[in-house]
Amino acid sequence: MKSYLLFALTGMSLAAVAQKPANPKPYAATITAADLKKHLYIVASKEMEGRETATEGQRKAAAYIQEHFRALGLAPGNGSSYQQAFPVYRDQEASASIEVNGKELNEIFGARGFEATYYLNQVVFVGDGLTDSTHDSYKGLDVAGKAVLIMPGKPNMNMRQRNRDAGSNFAENARLHGAAVVLYMTSTAKNPMSRMGYMYTEIFKPEAGPNMFYVSEAVCKAIMGEASFKSDSAAVKNGNAQSKIYKADILLQNKKSVERLESTNVVGVLEGTDKKDEYLFLTAHYDHIGKQGDVINYGADDDGSGTVSILELAEAFVKAKKEGKGPRRTIVFMCVSGEEKGLWGSEYYSEHPLFPLDKTTADLNIDMIGRIDPSRKHGDSTNYVYVVGDDKLSSDLRPISESVNKKYTKLELDYKYNDPNDKERIYYRSDHYNFARKGVPIIFYFNGVHADYHRPSDTVEKIGYEMMAKRAQLVFYTAWEMANRDAMLKRDIPLPPMN
Ligand SMILES: [Zn+2]
């Protein structure tokens, strides 16, 4: 603006006044395979222990990211702190026990709920406990305040899929029907809950229950008798179970303590120039799924790759600013945690934003950009990225994304996961969704899944660093355009409902 006045006074034409946009290329070039590799060998190292939310490994990763932001000269995003903490609760199961008809059965694999003791003389068997187009497990039943017994039916959908609606989630369905207790039969001696004890972010709720107990076949047999167990469990598998009341004296106890923990989002800010009260977010999750015993899930691709890309993006924009070519809008670099638990960090941020969401022009989110999708059979497997969400919320997203890609990075932009009917539902599955549901336009960058996804074998030497640098550069060029263009992205497309 200052230069506009100066030029205007010297009588130059308006056309000459418009500032020639700075060339982003030299800064994009600082996002290198070597730098990404250097950071990733630390972020996905064994010292970080798989970065599980609310653990030492997560805190070490947060400290590393914070130190990088500080060293670059980014401002802390949360007052004087680079970290935004959110609460995490963890159940420490002291003991759960069950006695059937006076006999103690050491056959509870875990419990989820609150401290309680129940003296029951009946349970209501409700088959697989689900309600869908083919059947209603609770048809004609009133189970309010009662105990229900549930067996797994046909094994199929993954957890996130099941959680989509209440009828397809046995626990949620039991709650909706007012059941006080759920006995859920599991066939392995593995505690189905978190290795560390069940973790959650909300402890205060409008209502309690139901208390969940994961029990063995032996418990079910003790309650139902051998013959009924046999016929009823077969019926559940065949999808034609009939509800039934079983009489038995059942003493159930759940004793536990709740640990109060916390986790954090790490937030660094590069202040803009003439549009510094508008914001562009660049995000990735730095948490992963931790370890099982001594076996570490390194999470090099998921989402070490996104995390170190954010570090490099920050460095590139800082260098531009040092050379007088800083962004017009303020750029917020945010690495969130809790993603693997259910998008907790980004959810917390979107409910407790540090910068106004209506002044946040966009969120560019990166989750897994260091590998290739072996099931992608067309095109160049070393030169693509899945781009998700650029057809939603703002009609400005795709033209920007495609034009910078055409001009600079020349990757194959694959829109497979933009299909609202895609069963993977990628649009809803990473942190950008918490921006999208608040109306902030987003683009999500993703390489697809591979055999090492959520396994100890997701390690640093399997990453394609050159390809990853190119993908991160696409994010850089897109961010550059969004941070420097005259107008914020328009919000002209409604968010499709979650189906
Ligand atoms: Zn991830």
Name the band, by pLDDT with cuts 50, 70 and 90, for residue 197: confident
Same domain, 213 and 108: yes
Same domain, 254 and 268: no
Three-state DSSP class for residue 85:
strand
Residue 4 pLDDT more than 70?
no
Ligand 1 centroid–CA 17 distance in Å is: 45
Summarize pLDDT for 430-463 with one digit per residue, the tens.
Answer: 899 999 999 999 999 999 999 999 999 999 999 9
Ligand 1 centroid–CA 339 distance in Å is: 7
Residue 243 pLDDT more than 70?
yes
Give a yes or no: residue 316 inside a domain: yes
Give a yes or no: residue 8 inside a domain: no
Q: What is the pTM of this model?
A: 0.83
Q: 144-153, 200-209, 240-249, 391-400: which range is least confident on average?
A: 200-209
Residue 348's pLDDT is: 97
Give a yes or no: residue 352 inside a domain: yes
Name the band, by pLDDT with cuts 50, 70 and 90, for residue 112: confident
Residue 7 pLDDT more than 80?
no
Ligand 1 centroid–CA 459 distance in Å is: 14
Residue 107's pLDDT is: 80
Residue 329's pLDDT is: 98
Same domain, 367 and 437: yes
Ligand 1 centroid–CA 452 distance in Å is: 12
Ligand 1 centroid–CA 429 distance in Å is: 9
Residue 292's pLDDT is: 87
- Surface-to-core class of residue 389, CB atoms within 10 Å of its CB (0-12 exposed, 13-18 middle, 19+ buried): buried
Summarize pLDDT for 165-181 with one digit per residue, the tens.
Answer: 556 689 889 999 999 99
Residue 199's pLDDT is: 85
Residue 164 pLDDT more than 60?
no
Same domain, 232 and 219: yes
Same domain, 301 and 391: yes
Give a yes or no: residue 382 inside a domain: yes
Summarize pLDDT for 180-193 with one digit per residue, the tens.
Answer: 999 999 865 554 44
> Could you tell me if 442 and 482 are in contact, meaning their C-beta atoms sit under 8 angstroms apart?
no
Same domain, 40 and 66: yes
Ligand 1 centroid–CA 116 distance in Å is: 36
Same domain, 251 and 320: no
User: For residue 196, what is the domain's CATH number?
Assistant: 3.50.30
Residue 194's pLDDT is: 41
Same domain, 275 and 190: no
Q: Of 185, 215, 189, 222, give the one whose Cα is nearest residue 96.
A: 215
Higher pLDDT, 14 or 351: 351
Structural domain for 368, as ranges: 22-89+260-484
Ligand 1 centroid–CA 366 distance in Å is: 9
Q: 130-134, 279-283, 373-377: which range is least confident on average?
A: 130-134
Three-state DSSP class for residue 262:
strand
Same domain, 36 and 121: no
Residue 188's pLDDT is: 59
* Number of domains the chain contains: 2
Same domain, 200 and 349: no
Report the alpha-carbon distance of residue 167 to residue 457 in Å, rounded: 35
Give a yes or no: residue 15 inside a domain: no
Report the alpha-carbon distance of residue 28 to residue 444 in Å, rounded: 19
Residues that place a CB less than 5 A from ion ligand 1: 302-303, 367
Ligand 1 centroid–CA 270 distance in Å is: 25
Three-state DSSP class for residue 456:
coil
Ligand 1 centroid–CA 468 distance in Å is: 15
Residue 260's pLDDT is: 94
Name the residue type at position 44.
Answer: A
Give a yes or no: residue 31 inside a domain: yes
Q: 72-81, 185-194, 281-290: which range is least confident on average?
A: 185-194
User: For residue 370, what is the domain's CATH number?
Assistant: 3.40.630.10
Same domain, 71 and 95: no
Give a yes or no: residue 492 inside a domain: no
Same domain, 105 and 250: yes
Ligand 1 centroid–CA 303 distance in Å is: 5
Residue 199 makes CB contacts below 8 A (sequence gap 6+) with 53, 54, 88, 89, 90, 91, 261, 341
Ligand 1 centroid–CA 368 distance in Å is: 6
How does the average pLDDT of the chain come out, rounded?
90
Structural domain ending residue among the three candidates 243, 258, 273: 258
Structural domain ending residue among the three candidates 227, 258, 289: 258
Give a yes or no: residue 14 inside a domain: no
Name the band, by pLDDT with cuts 50, 70 and 90, for residue 161: very low
Ligand 1 centroid–CA 371 distance in Å is: 13
